[in-house]
């Protein structure tokens, strides 16, 4: 099973600040890494697919990068509505796995 | 608009059974793989099972293999999860999600509570 480890687990950030969340895979997964946002009491929402591909309707301040084992989700100029938990997800091999999540709080 | 609506959750005793349903609309259901993903209270996401568009390929997490059965009815645009021999650790919100990779649309979830 491929283990995804996110860091940090929690981040408290002021609006307009830049946020960087990393996701490290226990073995190479190519670019089969996706990012989701989950707000309290809501279902997850796809933000970025295949490490860096944007999703229609997702604000351009969200971007992704990386390949192999190291990936990054960047939120440029954080807005209050971005308070949420962010998860990475690998679909390279079964079982599909998720990172443990990174909670982003707005100061 | 893509919509996925889960139903069938509830309170069940350990060892009991439950069948979850997911009604799909707004897209050609028969063209997409579908999945069940769960989230225990206050915890992260756990993939449970996947089924290909024509039901030819079915996969399960080890934690549910032999106890859960995923199925679909393309004529009814519906996805199902039959859950048997339920355990306390199966308590979670169960989401249905569209796609093979990635999971591009998710339902709102249905809560399954396993407790005596």
**pLDDT above 90 for B101:** no
Q: What is the mean pLDDT of residues A10-30?
A: 97
Task: Give me the pLDDT at residue B56, please.
Answer: 97
pLDDT tens-digit readout, B61-75: 999 999 999 999 999
- If you measure CA to CA, which chain B residue comes closest to A34? B102
Positive or negative, the CA dihedral B53, B57, B58, B62 is: negative
B95/A44 touch (CB, cutoff 8 Å), yes or no: yes
A43/B104 touch (CB, cutoff 8 Å), yes or no: no
Cα–Cα distance measured from residue B39 to residue B37, given in angstroms and rounded to the nearest whole number: 7
Computed over every residue of chain B, the mean pLDDT equals 97
Cα-only R_g, chain B: 13
Q: What is the mean pLDDT of residues B30-39?
A: 98
Q: Which residues does chain A have within 8 Å of residue B100's beta carbon, measured at their own beta carbons?
A: 91
Task: Give me the pLDDT at residue A93, please.
Answer: 94
pLDDT tens-digit readout, A47-63: 999 999 999 999 999 99
Cα–Cα distance measured from residue B79 to residue A37, given in angstroms and rounded to the nearest whole number: 24
Positive or negative, the CA dihedral A38, A39, A41, A43 is: negative
User: What confidence category does residue A77 fall into, taking pLDDT thresholds of 50, 70 and 90?
Assistant: very high
Task: Give me the pLDDT at residue B100, please.
Answer: 84
**pLDDT above 90 for A96:** yes
pLDDT tens-digit readout, B16-32: 999 999 999 999 999 99
Nearest residue, CB atoms, A43 vs list B100, B104, B108: B108
Cα distances from B37 to residues A24, A83, B34, B107, in angstroms, run 21, 22, 10, 10
A50 dihedral zone (left: phi>0; alpha: psi -120 to 50; beta): left
What HEC string does B12-72 produce?
ECCCCCEEEEEEEECCCHHHCCEEEEEECCCCCEEEEEEECCCCCCEEECCCCCCCEEEEE
Task: Give me the pLDDT at residue B35, please.
Answer: 98
Strand, helix or coil for residue A80: helix
What are the structure tokens assigned to B22, written together?
């997911």
Task: Give me the pLDDT at residue A27, please.
Answer: 97
A94/B108 touch (CB, cutoff 8 Å), yes or no: no
């Amino acid at each position: 099973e491929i283990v995804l480890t996110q860091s940090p687990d929690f981040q408290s950030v002021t609006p307009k600040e830049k946020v960087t969340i990393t996701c490290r895979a226990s073995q190479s997964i190519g670019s089969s890494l996706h990012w989701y946002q989950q707000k309290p009491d809501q279902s997850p929402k796809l933000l970025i697919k295949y490490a860096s591909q944007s999703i229609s309707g997702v604000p351009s301040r969200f971007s992704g990068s990386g390949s192999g084992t190291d990936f990054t989700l960047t939120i440029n100029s954080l807005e209050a509505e971005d308070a949420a938990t962010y998860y990475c997800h690998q679909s390279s091999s079964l079982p599909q796995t998720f990172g443990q999540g990174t909670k982003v709080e707005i100061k | 608009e893509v919509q996925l609506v889960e139903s069938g959750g509830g309170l069940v005793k350990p060892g009991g059974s439950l069948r979850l349903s997911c009604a799909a609309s707004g897209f050609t259901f028969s063209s997409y793989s579908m999945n069940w993903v769960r989230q225990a209270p206050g915890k992260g996401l756990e993939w449970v099972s996947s089924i290909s568009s024509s039901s030819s390929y079915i996969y399960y997490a080890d934690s549910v293999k032999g106890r859960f059965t995923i199925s679909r009815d393309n004529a009814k645009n519906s996805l199902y999860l039959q859950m048997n021999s339920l355990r306390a650790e199966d308590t979670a919100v169960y989401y249905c999600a569209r796609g093979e990779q990635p999971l591009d649309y998710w339902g709102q979830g249905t809560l399954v509570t396993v407790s005596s």
